[in-house]
Amino acid sequence: MSRNMIAKRVSFVSTDEAATLRERRRLLRDAARRLFVRVQRSGELCLEGGPALGYVPVMYGKKSTGPLVFRANDVTALNVAWQFFLNGLNYSFLSHKLHPFFGVYFTLSPTEHFQLLRDWLKTWKPSSPSRDGRVLDLGTGSGVISFLVQQLCPEAEILASDRCPNAVFSVTAELQRAMIPRIRVKRSDLFEELTEEAPFDLIIFNPPWVPEPPERSAATTAGTEADVVFGNDYPPELFPRLFAEVSEVLQPDGHLLVLFSNYAQCRGLAERSPMEDGLRTLKLNQVQRRPVEETDRNKHRQTRRDKSWSFKEKHQVELWDFMKKNDRAIGSALVLEICAKFGADMFGDRDFWCQNAAK
Ligand SMILES: C[S@@+](CC[C@H](N)C(=O)[O-])C[C@H]1O[C@@H](n2cnc3c(N)ncnc32)[C@H](O)[C@@H]1O
């Protein structure tokens, strides 16, 4: 059968066949959770033909005796992560490859949100000419944003921070490998450990884009080591906390940039964007949007059908540029919110109250 014919057959997988394939994958995943594999401390699998696990001697040391036991799906995860660590991530806009440690979030696609950020940074100047600009890369992951800022704003003082300990370990090692002294790294849950470093001229956050499923919120893992595994969905309190606390650590003319996307809304996983909540406490300077290019990687692996058929609208990435509100604006926002909740009558002349809210 020619390649073309195979491609044609594959692209017409019926809904029933697709469901069978999904079920087969689910069963395989389930089986992999129940299968255990012995691994030598040197990283060799006690299973013929299996890959050596490079992370094992790094994590456990070669000298200690006796094999370890891993679940089969952990072996797969460790092997995939090790390949990325060894070969490195090649971002076209960075001058060197990144080598993320196991359990650290990164993505090679989409990258359009990084392009939005790059364009924004090219025109950014800290408001005070006497300062070089203090930048916080919140939720640094592999450190990609810190390295981008460092390239475009070489004078900036950059702090990379994440609540995930693996990310802190990973970026620290990356800085030593690349011999970059100007970036510092600190573990923190949002701004909890960062008050001494504040105020910042610029805070950049590329947060998780998808809300945590309700069953996980109920069995909360927040602040525990389980974040390493589940850290890429946002818990309900993440954005309310961010928007309530950020003004405390921003310079008066500082910016908070949030890289977000309509992904969760497109997939029916969220009704509204949590970014809207930022308007209560912050001033919205601008929102920039950019459509995500459909690449072959975005298509379903088995059926090669364009996954966007299931999207409600076109997937776009977003750059939300917030600034601090002055007290008067906060007062007006509060009046508007109370009017919306209890009816405008309560205030009589609503405009009068808005205009005078901060006097
Ligand atoms: C989508 S990843 C982005 C990683 C990286 N900045 C990038 O652009 O590839 C979100 C990151 O935010 C971190 N994170 C999530 N909640 C956080 C919190 N409350 N405080 C600090 N970091 C958080 C996660 O551990 C993860 O590394």
Q: Are residues 203 and 284 in the same domain?
A: yes
Structure confidence by residue, pLDDT tens digits, 273-325: 999 999 999 999 999 999 998 764 454 444 444 454 455 578 999 999 999 98
- pLDDT number for residue 200: 96
Which of the four pLDDT bands, split at 50, 70 and 90, describes residue 7? Answer: very low
The count of C-alpha atoms lying within 13 angstroms of the C-alpha of 145, restricted to the half-sphere facing its C-beta, is: 32
Structure confidence by residue, pLDDT tens digits, 186-212: 999 999 999 999 999 999 999 999 999
Question: 242: Cβ below 6 Å to ligand 1?
Answer: no
Which phi and psi (to 5°) does residue 48 adopt? -65, 135
Which CATH number fits the domain that encloses residue 211?
A: 3.40.50.150
Distance (Å, whole) CA 329 – CA 319: 22
**Whole-number CA gyration radius for the chain:** 24
Q: In this model, does residue 1 exceed pLDDT 50?
A: no
Q: In this model, does residue 161 exceed pLDDT 70?
A: yes
Measured CA to CA in angstroms, residue 120 lies from 19, 115, 319 at distances of 43, 9, 9
Is 6 part of any domain? no
Distance (Å, whole) CA 248 – CA 191: 9
- pLDDT number for residue 66: 83
Is 276 part of any domain? yes
Q: Work out which ligand 1 atom sits closest to the CA atom of 114.
A: 8
Is 39 part of any domain? no
Which residue lies with its CA nearest to atom 4 of ligand 1? 141
Mutate to test the pocket of ligand 1, among 84, 102, 140, 158 (most ligand atoms within 8 A of CB): 140
Is 58 part of any domain? no
Q: Are residues 359 and 318 in the same domain?
A: no
Q: Are residues 330 and 227 in the same domain?
A: no
In whole numbers, what is the pLDDT of the chain averaged over residues? Answer: 82
Q: Are residues 116 and 225 in the same domain?
A: yes
Which phi and psi (to 5°) does residue 88 adopt? 85, 160
Distance (Å, whole) CA 286 – CA 252: 17
Q: Are residues 240 and 316 in the same domain?
A: yes
- Quote the ligand 1 centre to 42 CA distance (angstroms): 32
pTM: 0.80
Domain span including residue 182? 88-325
Q: Are residues 240 and 330 in the same domain?
A: no
Q: In this model, does residue 263 exceed pLDDT 80?
A: yes
Q: Are residues 233 and 346 in the same domain?
A: no
- pLDDT number for residue 183: 95
Structure confidence by residue, pLDDT tens digits, 71-100: 988 898 899 999 999 999 999 999 999 999
Is 28 part of any domain? no
Q: Are residues 200 and 335 in the same domain?
A: no
Q: Is residue 250 within 8 Å of residue 200, measured between CB atoms?
A: yes
Strands 250-261 and 183-187 turn out to be: unpaired
Using DSSP's 3-state secondary structure scheme, residue 214 falls into: helix
- pLDDT number for residue 18: 83
Which of the four pLDDT bands, split at 50, 70 and 90, describes residue 356? Answer: very low
Distance (Å, whole) CA 185 – CA 103: 17
Q: Is residue 234 within 8 Å of residue 243, measured between CB atoms?
A: no
Is 72 part of any domain? no
Q: Are residues 208 and 224 in the same domain?
A: yes
Q: Work out which ligand 1 atom sits closest to the CA atom of 222.
A: 19
The count of domains in the chain is 2
Q: Are residues 226 and 121 in the same domain?
A: yes
- pLDDT number for residue 127: 74
Question: 190: Cβ below 6 Å to ligand 1?
Answer: yes
Which residue lies with its CA nearest to atom 10 of ligand 1? 207
Q: Are residues 237 and 343 in the same domain?
A: no
- Quote the ligand 1 centre to 261 CA distance (angstroms): 15
Mutate to test the pocket of ligand 1, among 94, 228, 232 (most ligand atoms within 8 A of CB): 232
Is 62 part of any domain? no
Q: In this model, does residue 223 exceed pLDDT 60?
A: no
Is 61 part of any domain? no
Question: 208: Cβ below 6 Å to ligand 1?
Answer: yes
Q: Are residues 340 and 244 in the same domain?
A: no
Lowest mean pLDDT among 12-16, 119-123, 141-145, 298-302: 298-302
